[in-house]
Amino acid sequence: MPAEIIDGKMISSEIKESLKEKLEDLKRKEIVPGLAAILVGDNPASQVYVNMKVKACDKVGIRSEVDRYPKELPESDLLNRIEELNGKESIHGILVQFPTPAQISEEKVILAVDPKKDVDGFHPFNVGMMLAGKPTFLPCTPLGIQELLMRSGNDPSGKHVVILGRGSLVGRPLASMLFQKSKGANATVTICHTATRNLTNLTLQADILIAAMGKAKFVTAAMVKPGVVVIDVGTNRIEDPSTKSGYRLVGDVDFDSVKEVAKAITPVPGGVGPMTIAMLLSNTVKACKIQSEA
């Protein structure tokens, strides 16, 4: 029997609807959450992502502003702008769209953002609080994955979760979140990476398999056991002459074959992606409530 499709679009819409209630409560107190996005350069994908985030803000009632700079922007100018936004009371969340041009250190950018406005959850203070089990802001994609699991009835508690990929945006923070003794976690977690031996032996043990390595259709049906829950984080372009653009998006999982074995699976697109944006909105509202003491 084909797998249940875990619909990230539908679940993210439910989360956005619940945020509207919180936003109405803030509005009654004459408080409007504000999100500032900074885009340096003309990376097409980054422009799309920023536009999607701004559009999502507008739909739920979060005020947003975008600073767009040429790719030649000096690092010092960007850091000065972040400092200005740190002190701006109407701005509760700050995100800098990565990647940045070569002359700008992403590490310095992350450190420059006030941890109270770090709605991406990248600042070392927030990472440390996450590891301590006392999170303030959790990174958006891992948090979105956790919400997908819980809201689709696939609580990771007591399960063996295998994560493919140890990146700082998904793999490492997600592992840290899922092994905590808390709701939506309490799992046994294995992280696999480029030096992992006998990879298939490990993936076949997974009750929940999370693919986040950036390799198109890497996970095949032979790598998963019947009844596994598969979360596909990958977004890869492959050539497809039948489409107008000449390409299509696929995940890190060979969806067509794995869905015949798995219990549940996320599609690409329409799975994890919408959840990342929903969690950004959620973090922004949370930041506003903290800063406004509302």
Catalytic residues: 53, 97, 120
Distance, in Å, from the CA atom of 278 to the CA atom of 245, rounded to the nearest integer, reads 27
120: its two tokens: 């991406």
- Please say whether the beta carbons of 207 and 214 come within 8 A: no
29: its two tokens: 């107190």
Q: What are phi and psi of 141, to 5 degrees?
A: -70, -50
Give the max Cα distance, the chain: 57
Please state the length of the chain.
294
Beta strands in the chain (DSSP E): 4-5, 34-40, 63-69, 93-96, 160-164, 188-192, 208-211, 229-232, 236-239, 247-250, 264-265
184: its two tokens: 């939506």
Distance, in Å, from the CA atom of 253 to the CA atom of 122, rounded to the nearest integer, reads 27
183: its two tokens: 């709701």
CA distances from 179 to 129, 159, 176, 188, 202 (A): 14, 10, 6, 6, 17
CA distances from 142 to 37, 105, 149, 228 (A): 20, 23, 11, 19
Given the DSSP bridges, would you call strands 236-239 and 247-250 parallel, antiparallel or unpaired?
antiparallel
